[in-house]
Amino acid sequence: MKAIVIFYSRTGTTHSMAETIASTLTGEKFDVKLTTPEDVPVERLTDYDLIVVGSPTYYGTMAAEIKKVLDESIRVHGKLEGVVGGAFASSANRAGGNETTVLSLLCALLIHGMVIKGMSGGDHYGPVAVGSFDSTCEKECIRYAQELAALARKTRVD
């Protein structure tokens, strides 16, 4: 099983979230690629069983750097049907756009025909960091990665 974790980070918070998710997925026996926008192999996104995308919150949606990757992913449009995806975000403040950023990422995954999952406890739409990467955020990232891993195993596109 292969997973890719795509993130953009300026202050390091989103980076820490991405690393936590990536290492959790490695622990779940996934072959994991952790990457920033400039190194995303857009044409090879079809190689992965799980695609997780994270961004800081800039004006209520993902950073332009991440958006550019998603816009370019049109080259594999239709080929990610049924693949499991996930999203995470960081913001400076609570109620600062974290949820809408996660949802903007999830909307993109849905438009690719991908499969996503919420969490009945904690950060419902996907993990968020408020201000910094703290232990609450770490736990959310670990749990989310575990749930996505389990889902990807079940729904694997053969």
Binding site for its own copies (CB under 8 A): 58-64, 67-68, 70-71, 73-74, 77-78, 80-82, 93-100, 102-104, 107-125, 127-128, 130, 151, 154-155
Minimum CB–partner distance for residue 3 and its own copies (Å): 17
Nearer to its own copies, 25 or 108 (CB): 108
3-state secondary structure of 55: strand
Minimum CB–partner distance for residue 123 and its own copies (Å): 4
Nearer to its own copies, 18 or 80 (CB): 80
**Comparing C-alpha atoms, which of 43, 44, 42, 22 is closest to residue 33?**
22
Crossing angle of the two packed helices 13-27 and 135-155, in degrees rounded to 10: 40
**Comparing C-alpha atoms, which of 130, 129, 128, 102 is closest to residue 116?**
102
Strands 50-56 and 84-91 come out as: parallel
Q: How far apart are CA 12 and CA 109, in angstroms?
A: 24
Minimum CB–partner distance for residue 143 and its own copies (Å): 11
Nearer to its own copies, 19 or 65 (CB): 65
Nearer to its own copies, 15 or 112 (CB): 112
Dihedrals phi, psi of 57, to nearest 5 degrees: -90, 110
Minimum CB–partner distance for residue 146 and its own copies (Å): 12
